[in-house]
Amino acid sequence: MRIAYIQSIGGASGDMLLGALLDLGFPMDALQEELAKLDLSGFQLTAAQETRKEMRGTKLTVKVEDPTRYSPRWLLDTVKQSRLDEPVKEKAAGVLTALWRAESRVHGESEEDLELEELGSVDTLVDVVGVVAGLAHLGVEQVHASPLVLGAAEPPRWPGGYPNPAPATLELVGMAGAPVAADHAMYQGVGELTTPTGAALITTLADFQRPAMSVDSIGVGLGAKDPENFPNVIRVWLGETIERPAAGKQGDIVLLETNLDDVSGEVLGYAQEQLFALGALDVWYTPIQMKKNRPGVILSALVPASLEAAASELILRETPTLGVRTRPVERYAAERHSVPMETELGVISVKVKYLGGEPVSAAPEFEDCRRVALEAGLPLQEVYQRAVAEARSRFLT
């Protein structure tokens, strides 16, 4: 799957993100063609190669000839009534809606009331539509992002001004539950680093994690600022997801084995209990035919490599064997969690198995079902079947 990872180094804005996509190979002609589908005028685009603290990148400049600020309804209707492809139209509308909702919360008004007020100028549409169209042009199917860099939390820098982070930016962060980078002394006095439009684009289009991926290209978008202590840039990594197995592979495991033909069942049971108590991952017995046609068993124990010596000594001490075979092994193990489940009959622990992050089975603990059956005076099978049905309903739907 083609994915993009947005790394916010020195902030994020719509024009910085769009500059990074141009830097990745989104042609300016293609961008102009997409924006033409909005049937808008009153703006000019220029892109130039510049540096910020020795980091080369693309600086996109949107020169707005019409400074009029439009209502959120006008911006949304312009997108919805445009000739943009439906996927681009839908995602761009989602970003503008998030921005609208954040501004409504800041002003303490309903979205319908804010409809009559200003939200953004033409460059807001250029940034939003341009970024969404650029990701589509580059074949990006999923977008991921690092924590947002908001800069120092500072009061307004002039009378009547906004504090940093801007109220709408912070609302967008809160609405998405987005992670933010820690404050740092180098951000002091620099002002706004992540704009409302940048925050709306990232929180709407991306999730905040970096998946396993192979990176084949990197785009760098430059901001208008040039602080002394850090580069005002954003990077977009472009690549493919790395397919991972549904179950995790575990190493550093040793398989211990020994053949036994002169041992009682009681001794075998005790040895198994002691191995589990020591930390064995699994212990089992396999029937075999030994010399002189005598029946016997193979004792097998799967243990972490760190317990190899201790487990071998335990087997030699607790069974009649004279030797233990060892060999390193690996295994695939599904993720599993034990979750307490409240039921009408009482609390029963449930083992939930996951493959590839998805729950695939849920089984109640037998001992808990046995305890509940004894306490309630009910048949064990009835308790178990009711627990199975409840577990599947809660954890597998």
pLDDT in tens, 172-182: 999 999 999 99
How many CB atoms are located within 10 Å of the residue 40 CB?
Answer: 15
Q: Mean per-residue pLDDT for 341-362?
A: 89
Q: What is the pLDDT of residues 22-39, one digit of tens each?
A: 999 999 999 999 999 999
- Whether the per-residue pLDDT at 350 is higher than 90: the answer is yes
CATH class of the domain at 248-333? alpha beta
Q: Report phi then psi at 94, rounded to 5.
A: -65, -40
Please choose, from the candidates 293, 285, 220, the residue with its C-alpha nearest in 3D space to the C-alpha of residue 54. Answer: 220
Please name the helix (run of DSSP H) or strand (run of DSSP E) that holds residue 353, with its range, or none.
strand 346-355
Please name the helix (run of DSSP H) or strand (run of DSSP E) that holds residue 73, with its range, or none.
helix 72-80
- Whether the per-residue pLDDT at 117 is higher than 60: the answer is no
Q: What is the pLDDT of residues 369-388, one digit of tens each?
A: 999 999 999 999 999 999 99
Q: Which of the four pLDDT bands, split at 50, 70 and 90, describes residue 19? A: very high
- Whether the per-residue pLDDT at 193 is higher than 60: the answer is yes
| Ranges 3-12, 39-48, 239-248, most confident | 3-12
Please choose, from the candidates 270, 237, 271, 246, the residue with its C-alpha nearest in 3D space to the C-alpha of residue 360. Answer: 246
For residue 218, CA distances in Å to 139, 321, 326 come to 15, 61, 48
| CATH 3.30.70.1380 domain locations along the chain | 248-333
> Quick check: 311 and 278 in contact, CB under 8 A?
yes
For the chain, what percent of residues have pLDDT higher than 90?
Answer: 76
Q: Which of the four pLDDT bands, split at 50, 70 and 90, describes residue 245? A: low
Dihedral angle over CA of 124, 179, 114, 75, nearest 10: 20
**Which ranges of 138-195 would DSSP assign to H, the alpha helix?**
167-176
CATH number belonging to the domain at 335-395, selected among 3.10.20.300, 1.10.287.130, 3.40.30.10, 3.30.70.980: 3.10.20.300
The pLDDT value recorded for residue 84 is: 96
The pLDDT value recorded for residue 102 is: 92
Q: Which of the four pLDDT bands, split at 50, 70 and 90, describes residue 70? A: confident
**Average pLDDT value for the chain:** 92
Q: Mean per-residue pLDDT for 255-274?
A: 95
> Quick check: 186 and 227 in contact, CB under 8 A?
yes
Please choose, from the candidates 96, 104, 107, 198, the residue with its C-alpha nearest in 3D space to the C-alpha of residue 151. Answer: 198
End-to-end alpha-carbon separation of the chain, Å? 26
Q: Which of the four pLDDT bands, split at 50, 70 and 90, describes residue 356? A: confident
Kindly give, in sequence order, each residue whose CB lies less than 8 Å from that of residue 35, ignoring residues fewer than 6 positions away.
125, 126, 129, 130, 133
Q: Mean per-residue pLDDT for 111-140?
A: 85
Copy the structure tokens of residue 46.
């220029």
> Quick check: 299 and 257 in contact, CB under 8 A?
yes
| CATH 3.10.20.300 domain locations along the chain | 335-395
Please name the helix (run of DSSP H) or strand (run of DSSP E) that holds residue 96, with its range, or none.
helix 86-107
